[in-house]
Structures are given as structure tokens and as C-alpha cells.
Amino acid sequence: MPSKNNSRNLATISEVVKGGYCVGCGTCAFRAGGKMLFTDMGEYVPDIDSTDYSAYASSCPSLQPEQNETVIGSNLFRENATHEIGLGHVTGTFAGYANEGSFRQHGTSGGMVSWVLAELMRKDIIDSVVHVKEVEGANTEGPFYEYGKSTTISEVKQNSKTKYHVVELSKILREIKESDDRVAVVGVPCMIKSLRRLARLDKDIKKRVVFTISLVCGHLKSVNWSRSLSWGAGIHPNQMKNIQYRIKGESVPARAYVCQIETQDGTQKILDTANIVGGKYNVGSLMLPACDYCDDVVGETADLTIGDAWLPKYDVDNRGTNLLITRSNEARNLLISAMRENRIYLDNITADEARSSQSGGFRQRGEGLSHRLQLALDIGKKVPEKRIRPGEFKLTALRKEVYKRRSIVSRDSRIAFKEAIEKNDYSIFVSRMKRQLVILRHLEFATSFPRLFINKFNRAIRGIALRMGRA
């Protein structure tokens, strides 16, 4: 259980914002009638200088640890679900994809997020969907994507695909509150957590949000990450119109992040983000600082969690396979009955397999978080109180160095990219980050060589089996 808040833990929204612990969810701005600022770091924060936020800590995901994910999950799901370490409350763990229509083809992974949203509409459980859509007439100064509503299945499909891009909820929450629609909301774990906290305080939001889907989350990227990919691809951020982060194709492995960038004059460029400085997702370039203090990998407060089934037996299939975790019987039954009608494909997987499919995320947010908390406390910094305790894991010196270096990459990349934009010189970002990324890569390789070797071997074997099966 969480210990009592003390002077080393955060207590106010102002401390959250100033300490770099704000995920930019916008629930405080919604409640306070304030606004969210879009900063030159390409991130959202509440405008704490123009509005008094002191009364709105109770919905902030970084404050009030007594309402952590385990407690919220217990209140919502305890009756029917079992509790699994790292996964939260669970009624089922699956790997699968949509068979019906073109959901899988148009989805980032197995297309199950869009399929479930469509199914909820077909069954008249919801009237509309709150998810992430392109900003109409986006200009190069602002975000490319934002929360919006879809009211038809074709609109849901049009707005499929993952956007590794920050979004905030304050504007759409006003829309949800003002309409009578029953909505399903899609969000990363911290967004769903703040929505759950808000629903305890606002009866209109509670009534209207009838279903939540959490995406599994590695970490959030600022909008500057998208701009850095564009610049690295040879397109100046001022020329960028939009970006698709993970496109599919015969020659694109499921785990690859091959992006497509479109310019203002309509030309398109496709390239593997791993070939761009800071483009390899996991190195943490242009990550929100708050994500270094998260311990919810799989959205433990959502009715249904969907991610990628990163297991050797699934990730050899480049058409994409989802990881699915249900927390209510309704969510589980919805999937099982469609599976029986062959509209979706589902395998039951164990909780261990579900955890293994996100092993990197659990290491970074388990032992890694524990080490980062300890480092912050050692220098007298206030930190959010998490379910993971500072220094609770025994780590080798090399592993500690990996976690420290990842945080340095995140911190320095934000500063270097901002400066590159200000001076209109991409080489500032490249020269500062290249060496750091090489050091990090070597350290990661040194600590994870046996695991990487076994995974690669398993994938090769499964790949051959899959190709033989398809032939």
C-alpha cells in the first residue's frame, strides 16, 4: 500500500507542472475552466499562471496516490476479475486480430481498437467515439492530431492508426459534458486514469463515458518527435503536413516503425524511423519527462486494454496481432461471441505471456522507475508517490547506467531539438544526440545480449513456420 504523503512527494498541480511530471491530460484545465498551453517543446501543460488550479489536484494522475491504478481498478472491477501483477484486474488475456472487413489492414496492429469501437456502435452500447483525429487545417506551429468525436463506423475507420503524439482532453470533455451521447473513449493509461478520477467527481462525465479502451503505452512523444522524424527524412518541419507513424506493407515487419510523411505540396516520403537520429521509439528521444515516473504499462483502469502482441509467435506476422486484456465480463463476452462467429481471431494467452509481450515496458517502469525515483530523491527532488518503491530492485551497475542514460537522452533531446528549431539548424540536434545514442545502444546491447539473441532465434524459427503454413 502507498505510504503517507511526505515532504518529498508532490502535493500541488503547480509542483507537478514545474517538476516536469505533467502528462498534459487537461482534466485540471477542464475543471478549472482554464486552458492548456501548447509549448515550444511540442507538449501540453495547464496555464497555471492565468488560472488557480489549487483545488483540482484530485483528477491529476500524478497526485493523490491513495487513488492509484490498483485502487481505482479494485473499485471498478474487483467483483469479477482476478488481480495480476503488472496487468491489473483481469477477466481475460488474449492475442488476436479483426477478421471482419478491413479493420486489420487499416489498423496499426491487428485493427482491434477500431473493430471494438465499431462493434460497440453496432450493438447500440455507444452513440459516439472519442479518439484521436487529424487537426483540420493543421499549421506547422501546432499539433497534427487532437481528440475528436466520431459518430459513424466509417468515421471510426477513417481515424484508425496510432498517433505517437501528445493529446489533451480539456476541449473534448466540454463537448462530452454538453451532449447526451454515450461515448467510448480511447486513451493511453494516464489519460484513462485521469478520466476515471474525473468521473468520480463529475456525474455527467460518469454517465456519458460508458466504455474505455486503453492503449498499452511505452511512453508519450512530444510533437517535436514527429518534427524530428520529418527533418531527419529531409523535409523541413515547416514543410510537414502530416505523418503516419507505422504503415504496413509486405516487406514491413510487424515490429518496424516505418513512417510516411506528407509535405504541404502533397509529396510523400516513406522511411524506417530507426534510420533517423532519435527515431528508434524505445531510446526515449523527445519523450515527455513525466513518462519517466509512470508505473502503469497497460492501462489498468480501462474496461479493455489493447496493444501489440510482441511475442515471437505473433510478431512474425506483418499483418499485425493485438494483445487484449479485458477487465469486465461485458468486455470479455463481446470478444468471445465475435470470436465464435469468426468475425475476429482470438487466442487465449496466459497472464505471463501478456506480461512477456511488454517485457521492455515492464522493465523500464519497474526496476527502471525504482532506480529513477531513488536518483531523484538522492538529489532532494520531489517525486510523485508510485506503487513501485524507490530502490526496491537490486540492479547491476551497468543496468543502472542504462536507465540513467535513457533519462539523459530524453532530457537532452528536448533541449537540443528546441534549439535546432530556434536556430533553424537540424545539425544541432544531430551532433548533440548522435554520440549519446551510440553510448546508450552499446550499454543496452551489453546488458541484454543473451535475451536479444534468444528472441531473434525464436522469431526466425516462427517466421519459417509461418511462411511454410501460408505457402
Ligand X SMILES: Cc1cc2nc3c(=O)[nH]c(=O)nc-3n(C[C@H](O)[C@H](O)[C@H](O)COP(=O)(O)OP(=O)(O)OC[C@H]3O[C@@H](n4cnc5c(N)ncnc54)[C@H](O)[C@@H]3O)c2cc1C
Q: C-beta of 135: minimal distance to ligand X in Å?
A: 13
Q: C-beta of 166: minimal distance to ligand X in Å?
A: 7
Residue of 24, 65, 107, 312 interacting with ligand X (CB under 6 A)? 107
Q: C-beta of 352: minimal distance to ligand X in Å?
A: 16
If one counts every other C-beta atom within 10 angstroms of the C-beta of residue 369, the result is 24
Nearer to ligand X by Cβ, of 324 and 376: the residue is 324
Q: C-beta of 18: minimal distance to ligand X in Å?
A: 24
Q: C-beta of 296: minimal distance to ligand X in Å?
A: 12
Footprint of ligand X on 199-258 (CB under 6 A): 215-218, 220
Q: Give the DSSP letter of residue 216.
A: P
Site string for ligand X, 110-139 (x = CB under 6 A): xxxxx----------------xx-------
The x, y and z cell numbers of residue 380, run together, are 532532494
Footprint of ligand X on 260-319 (CB under 6 A): 306-308, 310
Amino acid making up residue 235: I
Q: C-beta of 309: minimal distance to ligand X in Å?
A: 8
Q: From 46-54, 102-110, 333-341, 408-416, give the range in contact with ligand X by CB under 6 A.
A: 102-110
Query: What does each C-alpha distance from 180 to 65, 118, 175, 184, 208 come to in angstroms?
Result: 32, 19, 10, 13, 7
Residues with Cβ within 8 Å of 67's Cβ and at least 6 positions away in sequence, in order, are: 58, 197, 200
Q: C-beta of 111: minimal distance to ligand X in Å?
A: 4
User: Residue 358 and residue 88: Cα distance in Å, rounded?
Assistant: 14
Residue 343, helix vs strand vs coil: coil
Residues with Cβ within 8 Å of 395's Cβ and at least 6 positions away in sequence, in order, are: 367, 371, 403
DSSP 135-146: PTT--TTS-SEE
Question: Is there binding between residue 349 and ligand X (CB under 6 A)?
Answer: no
**Residues 355, 87: contact at Cβ < 8 Å?**
yes
Q: How many CA atoms lie within 13 A of 292 on its CB side?
A: 27
Nearest to 216 by CA among 112, 120, 319, 119: 112
Residue of 68, 70, 93, 159 interacting with ligand X (CB under 6 A)? 159
User: Residue 354 and residue 337: Cα distance in Å, rounded?
Assistant: 21
Footprint of ligand X on 169-198 (CB under 6 A): 186-188
Nearer to ligand X by Cβ, of 208 and 219: the residue is 219
Total residues at the site for ligand X (CB under 6 A)?
Answer: 35
Q: What residue ranges bind ligand X (CB under 6 A)?
A: 107-114, 131-132, 159-165, 167, 186-188, 215-218, 220, 306-308, 310, 320, 322-323, 358, 361
